[in-house]
Structure 1
């Protein structure tokens, strides 16, 4: 529980200029995943959850807790650019807090680099929306734990 005097972790960092960040919905992401079942993906999914990172993660995601994101953006950008990524897709539980911040901060950095090829997107409704969308989506959750999602309902 956060008290009214407790400073939020993100208060130490600037508010992103990109508001709201560009978004991708789950049906678009599902299509991207289906079209890229081989090793030629040009997108990356980043799960920004930390202490609530349980119950599974969307297939192919990496976990990068939001609290560690801002200072690592230049390094991440360099790695992602070298890998030929065109889209970086950020999410958290609902993608209303950490997901939005991550996508917006990264979009600002992309813009500062003058990069018109890479896009930073937030997954609308996050993993909660993904899991609630049905079996086709749940089938693409690594380490899925049904009991965790039933508690969320």
Structure 2
């Protein structure tokens, strides 16, 4: 995003929010929507067997995958130790991150969390990115839409 610097008359380029933090060292594993859906249909529960983290800026638009929690991305990096402590105490083994496409916030957060898991020498917990994010999920067909809360069809058309 560029803004005008009135004192000099030259555009000032603002850095993205994530530029304040180091790039992830780890590329987190990917989970496909097909695999996640099969988990849900087998009876695995979000919040118990795995955690879904929605990182969209406008998480309310169009609905969300059932059982997701929403976290603000600007404060995510500094809260990773606390989030890890909560999830590891609850014996959550898989944390699945997504945003609209899981090509930006989703995979970056999954990488940061995977880095932290490695630093803790935890070999039981994993951080994954939902392939294609909520866009892929919501446009994947009726079986996916049925697993969404507050699904709003016009948003996905």
**Residue 19 of structure 2 is aligned to residue 11 of structure 1:** yes
Q: Map Cα deviations across residues 120-141 of structure 1 (whole Å, 9 max, x no partner).
A: 0000000000011100001111
How far apart, in 1, do the equivalents of 2:107 and 2:47 lie?
A: 26
**Cα distance in structure 1, aligned partners of 2:155 and 2:119:** 40
Give the unaligned 5+ runs of structure 1. Answer: none
- The CA deviation at 1:65 is 2.1
Q: TM-score, normalised by structure 1?
A: 0.91
The structure 1 segments of at least 4 consecutive aligned residues displaced by more than 6 Å after TM superposition are none
Which deviates more, 26-35 or 113-122? 26-35
Report the secondary structure of 1:69's partner residue. helix
Which whole-Å CA distance do the structure 2 matches of 1:69 and 1:40 have between them? 19
Pick from 91, 99, 103: which aligns with 1:92? 99
CA distance in 1, matches of 2:126, 2:46: 20
Q: How does 1:108-123 map to 2 (within 5 A)?
A: 108-123=115-130
Which of 136, 151, 156 is equivalent to 1:149? 156
Deviation of the 1:38 alpha carbon = 5.8
Aligned length: 148
Normalised TM-score (structure 2): 0.89
Q: Deviations over 1:15-61 (max 9, x none)?
A: 1110x221100000001111235688321000001236411100000
Question: Does the Cα contact within 8 Å between 2:33 and 2:137 map onto a contact in 1?
Answer: yes
- 1:132 corresponding residue in structure 2: 139
Rounded to whole Å, the distance in 2 between the matches of 1:27 and 1:92 is: 17
- Distance in 2 separating the partners of 1:73 and 1:40: 17
| CA–CA separation in structure 2 for the residues paired with 1:130 and 1:39 | 16
Match of 2:78 in 1: 71
Larger radius of gyration: 2
Taking the aligned partners of 2:114 and 2:73, their CA distance within structure 1 comes to 15
> Which residue matches 2:33?
26
